[in-house]
């Protein structure tokens, strides 16, 4: 008999094979051993050092745009090799749909972060965070915040249920932030994770040291962490607590992101009675969350809260749909639910169900069940189990025990106040969903439960067709939750990048902070000469390059013509009597948009040149009204520059409209400027 393959670790840019005994990994479908896994003898201290000195240094040299480019290349590469990953995913018990969520979902998350990095981040290696803060009377001393990459390593400890998505959703934000990664998968699904790691490592896309992988135990890796490192963990509350108590994590204040046990709830609104679309959506959602990935999702619905008088019809409807679920070999097209990740996982789920049965009765799921194309005993198969709490008000274990499998419990509530209270008894969850078509119910419940949740789905007939569902974390939104859920956050768009960066407050003169942040601050030197800035290419423009206009008097005729031409005849511009005693206006005043139009006329260079387009304004504020007969002037200053492609880049201009030495309006003007004339 051939020896089982040994899963290897990727350390110091080469593959490492452990010597000696190695525990077996078994197929979730057949129970047969499929691989061995061990990291015995792996020098994890050297891995951490290599990540910091080699990987981190290389990543920090790259701009956000360049890092985003790497993520996109990696996503494309993985997409080209999906069939190999799908083939291995079957042994984890995952159906084709389950694998699509894991594999395509993970690759899609990389694409999302590549896109966000290119569109939302600058072509630099740091971020400015928030506006400039004035710290002195005359503006010579100012402050602002800056975000820079941590100079450590991100240690990612992943769960068994999503071996691909779990690795990639952590990898994307870390690499985009410029922080190298050491990834450690759960043993039960390590063969699939190792195949993913091979595709990443052997693609040659990432810089040396940017990605390392541990197949097996991380040993004493945590002993070698520093305050510049990040640990991101997905798994049980017990393991998370043990990791958080590690002396180095406490001593060095190591950033610790946990995503762990979560007793997620779904609430059926009192308006969603049988016969309404919302009733059917609720039943469908509970069944989906019980059966997709065989209920092995940290976001699955564990508690289904319904009005007390609807417990019977809801229970019957869910049970009827569950009875139609085909359980079987995940490779079969007819299979709707595959196996749990391991026999050990099945034993654990059944043990937790026994605890729940002290407070709840089983509605369906106990007894013999059919398995298509596989042996129900050898494989880790389990029929979906729906329970009903005998007394929701006094139940305790229902809100404390998570059976991490195809298990959910129905609880009846008397009114919305009780429903909100029952949800909070979960002591913090990743996600809750509310199914209702009543706006007031939606408002009351969301505001009532938001403090205990990282995400809330409000589902009704209007959004159901495009909704991604209760259990689907998205890269644009925060994945995490307070309390029992771990208190951490992952993804959340660019927020996930910020988790791997240090926020630092800067104080100094406008000139020095302009130089540091590559963003011009009012009070810093200006560059003014006879060449109009609009005649200069993207590369020729310097921060602080300014244009100051001649004055233009705003006449009453101008105001009235603009009013009739645009249709904006608001009384403050047209009726002297109506504006008497006004708290803001001393009399008839010019339209704010008239000032913007006149300002453009004062600073625009009309001939064709490097300025290709004006595509918007940011931070527009009208600060002082302008009356007929008063003159305005405009200052236009290059505030920041951001290359977009080989042909053009974005220029952000600081614009100030003044009258009589006082500021009337401020805004940022955005233009696209060519690299060549």
Q: Which residues are catalytic?
A: 259, 298
**Number of neighbouring beta carbons within 10 Å of residue 43:** 13
Closest C-alpha among 28, 26, 98 to residue 374: 28
Give the separation between CA 477 and CA 420, rounded to whole angstroms: 23
As to burial, measured by CB atoms within 10 angstroms (0-12 exposed, 13-18 middle, 19+ buried), residue 18 is buried
Q: Which residues contact 147 (CB under 8 A, 6 or more apart)?
A: 126, 127, 128, 129, 498, 501, 502, 503, 504
Beta bridge partners of 231: 155, 256
Alpha-helical regions (H) of 18-104: 44-50, 57-61, 64-80, 82-89, 96-99
Both tokens of 467, joined, read 């909704």
Instruction: Answer whether 420's CB lies under 8 Å from 445's CB.
Output: yes
Alpha-helical regions (H) of 567-672: 571-574, 592-603
Instruction: Answer whether 551's CB lies under 8 Å from 598's CB.
Output: no
Give the separation between CA 657 and CA 664, rounded to whole angstroms: 5
Please compute Rg for the chain using Cα positions.
30
Q: Which residues contact 650 (CB under 8 A, 6 or more apart)?
A: 641, 642, 643, 644, 670, 671, 672, 673
Closest C-alpha among 356, 358, 156 to residue 263: 356
Residue environment code for 601-632, b if the CB has 16+ CB neighbours within 10 A, otherwise e: ebbeeeeeebbeeeeeeeeeebeebbebebeb
Strands (DSSP E) found in 535-646: 546-548, 552-553, 611-622, 631-643
User: What is the end-to-end Cα distance of the chain in Å, rounded?
Assistant: 72
């Amino acid at each position: 008999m051939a020896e089982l393959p040994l899963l290897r670790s990727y350390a110091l840019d080469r593959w490492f094979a452990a010597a000696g005994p190695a525990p077996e990994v078994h197929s979730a479908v057949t129970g047969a051993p499929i691989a061995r896994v061990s990291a015995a003898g792996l020098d994890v201290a050297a891995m951490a050092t290599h990540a910091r000195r080699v990987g981190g240094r290389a990543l920090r040299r790259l701009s956000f745009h360049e890092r985003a480019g790497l993520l996109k290349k990696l996503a494309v590469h993985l997409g080209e090799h999906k069939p190999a990953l799908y083939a291995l995913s079957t042994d984890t018990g995952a159906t084709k749909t389950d694998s699509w969520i894991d594999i395509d979902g993970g690759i899609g998350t990389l694409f999302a972060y590549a896109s966000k990095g290119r569109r939302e981040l600058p072509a630099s290696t740091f971020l400015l965070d928030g506006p400039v803060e004035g710290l002195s009377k005359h503006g010579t001393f100012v402050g602002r915040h800056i975000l820079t990459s941590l100079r450590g390593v991100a240690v990612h400890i992943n769960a068994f249920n999503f071996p691909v998505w779990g690795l990639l959703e952590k990898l994307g934000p870390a690499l985009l932030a410029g922080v190298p990664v050491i990834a450690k998968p759960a043993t039960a699904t390590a063969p699939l994770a190792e195949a993913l790691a091979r595709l990443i490592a052997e693609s040659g896309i990432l810089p040396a040291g940017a990605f390392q992988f541990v197949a097996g135990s991380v040993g004493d890796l945590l002993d070698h962490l520093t305050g510049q490192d990040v640990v991101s963990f997905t798994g049980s509350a017990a393991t998370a607590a043990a990791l958080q108590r590690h002396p180095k994590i406490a001593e060095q204040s190591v950033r610790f992101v946990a995503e762990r046990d979560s007793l997620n709830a779904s609430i059926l609104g009192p308006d969603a009675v049988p016969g309404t679309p919302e009733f059917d959506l609720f039943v469908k959602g509970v069944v989906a969350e019980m059966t997709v990935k065989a209920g092995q999702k940290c976001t699955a619905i564990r508690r289904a809260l319904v009005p007390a008088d609807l417990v019977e019809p809801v229970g019957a409807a869910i049970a009827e749909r569950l009875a139609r679920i085909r359980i079987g070999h995940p490779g079969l097209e007819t299979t709707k639910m595959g196996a749990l990740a391991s026999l050990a996982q099945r034993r654990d789920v059944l043990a937790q169900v026994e605890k729940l049965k002290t407070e709840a009765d089983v509605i369906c799921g106990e007894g013999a069940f059919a398995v298509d194309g596989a042996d129900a005993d050898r494989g880790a198969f389990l029929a979906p189990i729906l329970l009903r709490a005998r007394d929701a008000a006094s139940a305790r274990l229902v809100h404390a025990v998570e059976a991490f499998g195809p298990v959910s419990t129905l609880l009846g509530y008397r009114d919305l106040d009780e429903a909100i209270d029952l949800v909070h008894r979960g002591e913090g969850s990743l996600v809750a969903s509310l199914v209702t078509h009543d706006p007031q119910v939606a408002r009351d419940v969301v505001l009532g439960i938001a403090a205990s949740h990282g995400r809330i789905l409000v589902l009704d007939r209007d959004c159901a067709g495009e909704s991604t569902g209760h259990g689907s974390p998205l890269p644009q939104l925060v994945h995490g939750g307070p309390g029992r859920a771990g208190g951490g956050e992952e993804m959340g768009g660019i927020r996930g990048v910020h988790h791997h960066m240090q926020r630092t407050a800067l104080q100094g003169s406008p000139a020095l902070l302009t130089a540091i942040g590559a963003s011009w601050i009012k009070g810093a030197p200006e560059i003014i000469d006879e060449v109009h800035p609009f005649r200069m290419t993207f590369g020729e423009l310097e921060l602080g390059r300014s244009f100051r206009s001649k004055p233009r008097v705003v006449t009453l005729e101008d105001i009235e013509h603009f009013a009739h031409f645009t249709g904006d005849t608001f009384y403050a511009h047209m009726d002297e009597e109506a504006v008497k005693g006004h708290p803001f206006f001393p009399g008839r005043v010019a339209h704010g948009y008239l000032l913007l139009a006149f300002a453009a006329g004062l600073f625009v260079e009309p001939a064709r040149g490097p300025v290709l387009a004006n595509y918007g304004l940011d931070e527009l504020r009208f600060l002082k009204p302008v009356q007929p007969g008063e003159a305005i002037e405009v200052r236009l200053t290059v505030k920041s520059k951001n290359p977009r492609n080989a042909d053009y880049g974005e220029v952000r201009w600081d614009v100030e409209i003044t009258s009589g030495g006082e500021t009337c309006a401020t805004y940022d003007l955005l233009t696209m400027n060519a690299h060549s004339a």
